[in-house]
A and B are shown apart, each in its own frame.
Chain A
Amino acid sequence: MSDSTTSPLRRRLLAGGAAGAAIAGAPFVSRLAYAQSLPIKIGFPTPLTGAFSAEAQDQVRAAELAVKEFNAAGGFNGRKVELLVRDDKLNPGEAATRTLELIEKDKVDLIVGSLSAATQLSINAICKSRKTLFNSISQSDAINEAKDWSFYTFHEALTPHATAGAVARYAFPKFGKKVVYLTADYAYGHEMVRGFQRAGQAFGMQTLADIRHPLGAADYSAFLPRIQALKPDILVLCNFGRDLLNSAKQITDFGLKKQMKVIAPVLLYTARQAGGAEAFDGILGGTGYYWGMEDTIPSAKKFNDKFRKAYGGAVPSDYGALGYAGIRSVLQAIQEARSTTATAVANVMRKMRYDFYKGTQFYRLCDHQSVQSIIIVESKSTGMKDKYDVFKILSIEAPSESNLRTCDELGHKVI
């Protein structure tokens, strides 16, 4: 299948008829020349529809920015990059199907994307068996474990373990010893709790209860009287996105914030925008990126300016920024490797030090986890300069392998 630019139907007709034979019999040299002018195809499955569509569409915007930049700079050997965005609908089955489509029909060179633990694991499973490079841009602990991981798996996003740990290291010494967790009952939530508890050992933290709520619950009121009765110093909301928004809102209504400090592992920029200042007032949490970093990090300033210019003054969200970084990092690796084959690109990425948007990062050798800084922010409710100004940066934890789970623990034989 050399002519992957023609329409699928046409391609099939060609392949079936005499024309197919003619193409197959064409001189080898001309086909090689043709391949060099072909675009580099990057598959980008992400949930354009569904609960995280706002975040996903921001991912796409930022990814397109990275692609435009690369093409404007001349591409790779004159080859331009083409981004093939596919809607996985936040459904792992759909994500698997779309990944198969990208690999089998579109013949993409590599894949970047995803926005949930379950979809990234299913995309990874498909890529792993077909030896296609996949750079995941959403959080999960499982993808780093030897069971799921492969040489072609890269993880650009933070891990829940590291994020929770960073928030714990910042908040636990400040607000008291007794903790209650309100946790979404799925792997991601459990991973967060594990991260908090691990980091909490050093401070002698005491877990009063780990209350697990159904994933995607709209009402949390039924969990709150017990939390009130337990009288903890700190309440940790180990949930994500809309679950976090709903629980934060109801905690505010029940007046719990007056009695305890509320913290969350991940404060989403988009969820804060959707939820408003009141619900998140005073809540402290972690994030992989906040545009306000531009005051101290030059690469963040550069990235923000480019994004603002391209999208009418808007600033990139945390997950959006990951779309940018995920694409830029594979493109840089292609340049350096002077090749698009998965093994060559992976080998370069393993050695790369890069700074695209948040300071220096690199991929840990054993599990290809991007080792990066973690930002601790607090939601603002007064003194906002404009609608983008929603968080106050409290601290930035420097990148360190020691904050990740060890390679041994993940089941990797140390390479």
Chain B
Amino acid sequence: MAEISFQLLLLQLMTGLALGAIYALLAVGLSLIFGMLTVVNFAHGAFFMVGAFLGVYFLGLTGSFWFSLVLTPLAVGAIGLLCERFLVRPLYGRGIDYPLLLTFGLSYVMIESMRVLFGLEGVPTSVPAELKGVVDLGIGSFPTYRLFLIVATAVIIGALWLFIEKTRYGLIIRAGSRDPEIVRILGVDIARVWLIVFGIGTAIAGLSGLLAAPTRAVNAEMGIPVLAESFVVTVVGGMGSLPGAVVAGLLVGVVFSMTSLFAPEYAELSIFVLMAVVLLVRPQGLFGKAGLMG
């Protein structure tokens, strides 16, 4: 391919990072829930999808993208809390398969509910007026909204990091993911911690749905492929590892983007190949703890 220049490669890298930002956000939520609750959340894609729908709904209601940015994670997180309390909690102690299956059934219900509420075709979306257009990066023009995506992800992940590393609650969460028994003995209501972690994880999924909404078609099925992709990212990074989720998210985004340039029809396959190679060389993922889960 003679037409490939250094500038194009850089631009491609930027595109990959913007893509990776959404992957990273999804994987952080998934990994947080898994690391803490050892629940493999098969409804994560559905929470993403609900986030996109509610985001568009709140946008229509309030007329402001920024209000929607606050309301959507709260609403999706609230749904997450209810699901944990009444559906997932009864299954603790029953092994990893049952929550997995329950959330799978839950995803069906969520998909169908959105079809009933918002219609089969989905809802139209567009980039918020403040973030429309392209900026010249010196290497070529790049959509402003996608730059915003990269920045927003950095902010969200930074805030989460501060919360987990620097607050008392974060300390309990970290301890809880290492040894829930000890935490319980120390007098902490671990069930409440789990509840909140599930809420945060799903809220982040909803937020990533909202962030992705302006760039793609919003419909009830949009979460299905996203689920598989975010699992790939989580596993490449190491299940339960937050830095792993971020690094792997960006890595997967860049790998996808570069494959799209050189061998476009293999773009989708590339991330599965990446996962197979990583796991066969390093079975616990890039940042995973060896021996976790088995």
A→B interface (CB under 8 Å): 50-51, 53-54, 57, 185, 211-214, 216-219, 221-226, 228-230, 242, 245-246, 249-250, 253-255, 270, 273-276, 278-279
**CB <8 Å contact, A223 and B260:** yes
**Bound-complex Cα distance A222 to B60 (A):** 30
* Nearest CB of chain A from residue B256's CB, rounded to whole Å: 6
Q: Is the CB of A222 within 8 A of B260?
A: yes
Q: Are A225 and B15 neighbours in the complex by a CB distance under 8 Å?
A: yes
Q: For residue A228, which residues in chain B have a CB less than 8 angstroms away from its CB? A: 11, 140-141
Task: Report the minimum CB–CB distance from B62 to chain A (whole Å).
Answer: 19
A274 touches B217 (CB 8 A): yes
Write out the residue numbers on chain A whose beta carbons fall within 8 Å of the beta carbon of B265: 185, 212-214
Separation in Å of the B92 CB from the closest CB of chain A?
A: 33
For residue B134, which residues in chain A have a CB less than 8 angstroms away from its CB? 253-255
Q: In the complex, which residue of chain B has the Cβ closest to the Cβ of A57? A: B120
- Nearest residue (CB) in A for B8 is A229
- Determine if A270 and B267 form an interchain contact, defined as CB atoms under 8 angstroms apart: no
Known interface pairs A221-B19, A255-B134, A255-B141; A276-B216 also in contact (CB < 8 Å) = no
Q: How far is the CA of A72 from the CA of B267 in the complex (A)?
A: 54
Q: Which 8 A-B pairs have the closest CB atoms?
A: A276-B124, A222-B260, A214-B268, A274-B121, A212-B265, A222-B257, A225-B11, A54-B121
Closest to A209 in B: B3
With A211-B264, A221-B146 as contacts: A253 and B217 at CB distance below 8 Å: no
Residue of B nearest to A258 (CB): B134
Is B208 positioned at the interface, with any CB of A under 8 Å from its CB? no
Question: With contacts A214-B267, A218-B225, A255-B133 known, is A246 near B121, CB below 8 A?
Answer: no
If A226-B12, A229-B140, A275-B124 are given as contacts, then 6 extra A-B residue pairs at C-beta distance below 8 Å, sorted by A number, are A185-B265, A218-B216, A221-B257, A222-B256, A223-B260, A254-B134
- Nearest CB of chain A from residue B154's CB, rounded to whole Å: 18
CB contacts (< 8 Å) of B125 on chain A: these are 276
A279 interface neighbour in B126, B222, B256, Cβ under 8 Å = B126
Q: Which of B143, B216, B257 has the most CB of A within 10 A?
A: B216
Cα distance A229–B3 in the bound complex, in angstroms: 8
List of B residues within 8 angstroms of A53 by Cβ: 115, 120
Q: Kindly list chain A residues whose C-beta atoms are within 8 Å of the C-beta of B127.
A: 253
**Residues of B participating in the A interface, judged by any CB pair closer than 8 Å:** 3-5, 7-8, 11-12, 15-16, 18-19, 115, 119-127, 133-134, 140-143, 145-146, 215-217, 219, 221-222, 225-226, 256-257, 260-261, 264-265, 267-269
Q: Shortest CB–CB separation between residue A227 and chain B, in angstroms?
A: 11
Are B133 and A230 closer than 8 Å at their CB atoms? no
Closest CB-CB distance, B152 to chain A, in whole Å?
16
Name the one of B8, B19, B221 contacting A51, with C-beta atoms under 8 angstroms. Answer: B221
CA–CA, A185 and B269, complex, Å: 13
> Knowing A255-B134, A255-B143, A274-B121 touch, does A230 contact B3 (C-beta < 8 A)?
yes
Q: Please classify the interface of chain A as helix (H, G, I), strand (E, B), loop, or mixed, using the class held by over half of its residues.
A: helix
- Which residues on the B side are within 8 Å of A242 (C-beta)? 217, 219
Which of A51, A222, A278 gathers the greatest number of chain B CB atoms within 10 Å?
A222
Q: How far is the CA of A255 from the CA of B126 in the complex (A)?
A: 14
- The answer for the CA separation of A368 and B143 in the assembled complex, in Å, is 48
CB distance from A279 to the nearest CB of B (A): 7
Nearest residue (CB) in B for A274 is: B121
Chain B residue nearest to A245 (CB atoms) is B217
Q: Which of B19, B140, B217 contacts A275 (CB 8 A)?
A: B217
Number of A-B pairs, beta carbon distance below 8 Å: 113
Contact (Cβ within 8 A) B261 A222: yes
**Contact partners of A212 in chain B: CB under 8 A:** 264-265
For the complex, what is the distance from the CA of A185 to the CA of B265, rounded to whole Å? Answer: 7
21 chain-A/chain-B pairs, Cβ below 8 angstroms: A51-B219, A53-B115, A216-B225, A217-B267, A217-B268, A219-B19, A222-B16, A222-B19, A222-B260, A222-B261, A225-B11, A225-B261, A226-B12, A229-B7, A229-B140, A242-B219, A249-B216, A253-B146, A270-B121, A275-B124, A275-B217
| Residue in chain B with minimal CB distance to A272 | B124
A263 to B229, CA, bound (A): 30
Cα of A276 to Cα of B126 in the assembled complex, Å: 8
Q: Please, how many angstroms separate the alpha-carbon atoms of A249 and B126 in the complex?
A: 8
Bound together, the chains give a CA A107 to CA B143 distance in angstroms of 56
> Are B120 and A249 closer than 8 Å at their CB atoms?
no
Tell whether, in the assembled complex, residue B215 and residue A249 are in contact, meaning their CB atoms are under 8 Å apart.
Answer: yes
Residues on A with C-beta less than 8 A from B115 are 53
| Chain B residue, CB-CB nearest to A222 | B260
Residue of B nearest to A270 (CB): B121
Question: Which B residue's beta carbon lies closest to that of A210?
Answer: B264
Query: What is the CA–CA distance of A74 and B219 in the complex, to the nearest angstrom?
Result: 42
| CB <8 Å contact, A222 and B215 | no
| Distance from A170 Cβ to chain B, minimum over Cβ atoms (Å) | 27
Q: How far is the CA of A348 from the CA of B146 in the complex (A)?
A: 58
Task: Please report the C-alpha to C-alpha distance between residue A196 and residue B216 in the assembled complex, in whole angstroms.
Answer: 27
The residues of A that contact B5 with a CB separation of less than 8 Å are 229
Q: Of B12, B18, B217, B257, which is within 8 A of A246 by CB?
A: B217
Q: Which residues of B contact A219 (CB under 8 A)?
A: 19, 215-216
In the assembled complex, which residues on chain A have CB atoms less than 8 Å from the CB atom of B261?
222, 225-226
CB distance from A210 to the nearest CB of B (A): 9
**A50 / chain B contacts, CB cutoff of 8 Å:** 221
Complex Cα–Cα for A222 and B260 (A): 6
Check B260–A274 contact: CB distance below 8 A: no
Residues of B with C-beta under 8 A to A246: 216-217
B261 to A, closest residue via Cβ: A226
**Shortest distance in angstroms between A367's beta carbon and chain B's nearest beta carbon?**
30
Chain A residues near B141 (CB-CB < 8 A):
228, 254-255
Chain B residue contacts of A270, Cβ below 8 A: 121
User: A214-B268, A255-B134 known; A224 and B217 CB under 8 Å?
Assistant: no
CB distance from B208 to the nearest CB of A (A): 13
The answer to whether B267 touches A213, judged by C-beta atoms less than 8 angstroms apart, is: yes
Does B221 contact A250, Cβ atoms closer than 8 Å? no
Q: How far is the CB of B140 from chain A (nearest CB, A)?
A: 6
Q: Is there an interface contact between B217 and A222, defined as CB atoms closer than 8 Å?
A: no
A275 and B265 CA atoms in complex are apart in Å by 25
User: How many angstroms from the CA of A250 to the CA of B216 in the assembled complex?
Assistant: 7
| CB of A248, distance to nearest CB on chain B (Å) | 10
Q: A274-B217, A276-B125 are in contact. Are A222 and B120 (CB under 8 A)?
A: no
Q: A118 → chain B, closest Cβ, in Å?
A: 17
Kindly identify which residue among A57, A229, A250, A275 contacts B215, using a CB–CB cutoff of 8 Å. Answer: A250
User: Which residue of B is nearest A223, CB measured?
Assistant: B260
